[in-house]
Amino acid sequence: MGLKRLTDRIYYLEHEPETDRPMLAYIRGDKWSLAIDAGYSSSHVADFYGAIEAEHLKKPDFTVITHWHYDHTFGMHAVSGVSIAHEKTNEFLKKQQEEAEDSGYIEALKREDIHFRREYADLDRLDIVLSDLEFSDRMTVDLGGMTARIFHTEAPHSEDTACIYIPEEKVLFLGDSTSEDFFNDGYMDRDKLASLIRTIRSMDCKYCILSHCEPLGKEDLLCYLESIL
């Protein structure tokens, strides 16, 4: 599976429903390149980097994490360059590291989640790391002719939600932020969703990118979100 091109300088590896792998994005600046999310495992990272090399692009200099869930972060040990995450993401990952000290943890995840079982079919250990750089509210990375504006926001899916806005291409990456909280019995907090809708509406973006969907237009996404509010 190869990279798809969203805009002039934004590419992505599609999400995979079979394993629930999220899409991984690649932003090409004149000076630096930045990836969005580290992916599920070292093999997910290897597939992404293989697709990047097939396009004669260089490996990412930075990788930004949208939130701590394992399908977005457990590949972080295998990324090249510098990783960036919100401070709460690292707090959650620290807890995951502690859980994973128990060798039964990976087996428990395999039992509980059929997607995890498929992704880790040939793997019997986890390598969970925290990010190299951490931010608390927002940070901006100047990639050279392209800017990644990374910001923490309130969202129903997780407390550590980070979104990434690329103003030059009018693209907003939302991770899984619009979904319910799977770690709280699938609870959908409508106040948090309303707050996130206001955030999305305030952004000058054309595309809204959710990690487990095809790219969406801003109005299509807002229309859907307002229908479930």
The answer to whether residue 176 forms part of the interface with Zn ion (CB under 5 A) is yes
The answer to whether residue 69 forms part of the interface with Zn ion (CB under 5 A) is yes
Binding mask 122-161 for Zn ion (x = CB under 5 A): ----------------------------------------
Q: Going along 95-213, which residue ranges are E strands?
A: 133-135, 138-142, 147-152, 162-166, 171-175, 207-210
28 or 69, CB closer to Zn ion?
69
Strands 4-7 and 10-13: antiparallel
In the bound complex, what is the minimum distance in angstroms from residue 162's beta carbon to Zn ion?
12
Give me the phi and psi of 44, to 5 degrees please: -65, -45
47 or 176, CB closer to Zn ion?
176
Query: Sign of dihedral through CA atoms 196, 183, 63, 219?
Result: negative
Binding mask 22-61 for Zn ion (x = CB under 5 A): ----------------------------------------
Query: Sign of dihedral through CA atoms 47, 95, 115, 183?
Result: negative
Residues that bind Zn ion (CB under 5 A): 69, 176
